[in-house]
């Protein structure tokens, strides 16, 4: 079993290149199995994957920004101008 794993397994350097394909579900079933087998045996790559997940989640929290009242006015004006021109 161990021998088999060594023969077919990914090394850490390959793992960091496959992380996105793994998270995107783009690995084949056998690639996915090998990826997860390495994860189960390697705390560093598990840490790396966890950090990628936190990074993605934190990037997703950069989004929230609302329109300022000024911008609302700009867009109202833009709309009225367009209406006036298209009539």
Partner 1 sequence: MIAVLGRRASNAVDPDAELLARLRRGEEEAFVMLAARHHAAMLRLARAFVSSDAIAEEVVQDTWVGVLRGIDGFGERSTFRTWLMRILVNRAKSTGVHENRSVAVGDAGPVVDRARFDATGAWMSPPQHWIEDSDDRMQAQALSDPLHAALGELPPRQREVVILRDVDGLTGQEVCEVLEISEANQRVLLHRGRSHLRQALEDELVLR
What residues make contact with partner 1 under the rule CB under 8 A?
11-14, 16-17, 19-21, 24, 26, 42, 44-45, 47-48, 50-52, 54-56, 58-67, 71-72, 74-76, 78-80, 82-83, 86
Q: CA 14, 50, 25 angle in degrees (round to 5)?
A: 60
Please, are residues 10 and 27 in contact by the beta-carbon 8 Å criterion?
no
Provide the 10 A C-beta neighbour count for residue 61: 7
Beta carbon nearer to partner 1, 30 or 68: 68
Shortest distance, position 30 Cβ to partner 1, whole Å = 19
Distance in angstroms (rounded) separating the CA atoms of residues 65 and 54: 21
Shortest distance, position 22 Cβ to partner 1, whole Å = 10
């Amino acid at each position: 079993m161990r021998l088999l794993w060594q023969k077919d397994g990914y090394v850490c350097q390959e793992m960091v290149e496959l992380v996105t394909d793994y998270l995107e579900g783009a690995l084949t079933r056998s690639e996915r199995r090998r990826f997860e087998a390495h994860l189960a045996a390697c705390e560093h790559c598990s840490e790396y994957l966890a950090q990628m997940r936190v990074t993605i989640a934190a990037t997703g929290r950069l989004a929230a920004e609302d329109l300022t009242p000024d911008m609302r006015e700009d867009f109202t004006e833009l709309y009225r101008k367009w209406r006036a021109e298209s009539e």
